Amino acid sequence: MSLVEQIQKDIVSAMKAKDEARLSCLRMIKSALQLKAVEKMSPLDDKEAQAVLGTLIKQRKESVEQFTKGGRQEMADKESAEIKLIETYLPKAASEADIVAGVKAVIAEMGSPTMKDMGTVMKNAMAKFSAAGMRVDGKIVSEAVKKELAGK
């Protein structure tokens, strides 16, 4: 069952359970996926759907930060709950230790890159994580690459 089909099935079950918060979030996810499919002019595969969900998570994290700064804790809590729901449809996120180990492996494969090669190291590291089916935050990978290259 594809990700889009799974979300549609979960919308139906949320309607039956009268779970308004979950239903609202699932509908938002579905509309974002449909918008992307219309832009692409063909159905999304699971990788593309996961990319859309990753974007939604990133938006929610920024919203949580803004709501917290603005003293709107109830809105921040709502956004945090949406993040947790969206994450259930994505592969497990890589831990920081996994990211550091992956970055070290990429640097070892490349020989001895310098800070000038950071872009190449980042590209190779992100490709490696993607091939392994791991979900990673680009900021964390970037920080790990900087730290490893600065240590050389």
**Ordered domains of the chain (ranges, CATH):** 3-87 (1.10.1510.10), 96-150 (1.10.10)
* Tokens 């050389």 belong to residue: 152
Give pLDDT tens digits for 112-150. Answer: 777 788 888 888 888 888 777 777 778 888 888 888 888
For residue 137, the model assigns a pLDDT of: 77
For residue 11, the model assigns a pLDDT of: 94
Judge whether 129 and 136 are in contact, CB under 8 Å.
Answer: yes
Judge whether 89 and 6 are in contact, CB under 8 Å.
Answer: yes
Give pLDDT tens digits for 47-75. Answer: 888 889 989 998 999 999 999 999 999 99
Q: What's the CA gap between 131 and 151, in Å, rounded?
A: 27
* Tokens 């492996």 belong to residue: 105
Mean pLDDT, rounded, for 73-101: 87
Give pLDDT tens digits for 3-26. Answer: 888 999 999 999 999 999 999 999
Q: Residue 93: what are its φ and ψ, rounded to 5°?
A: -70, 145
Q: Tell which wins on pLDDT, 143 or 92.
A: 143
pTM, 2 dp: 0.70
For residue 3, the model assigns a pLDDT of: 84
* Tokens 């970037």 belong to residue: 142
For residue 147, the model assigns a pLDDT of: 84
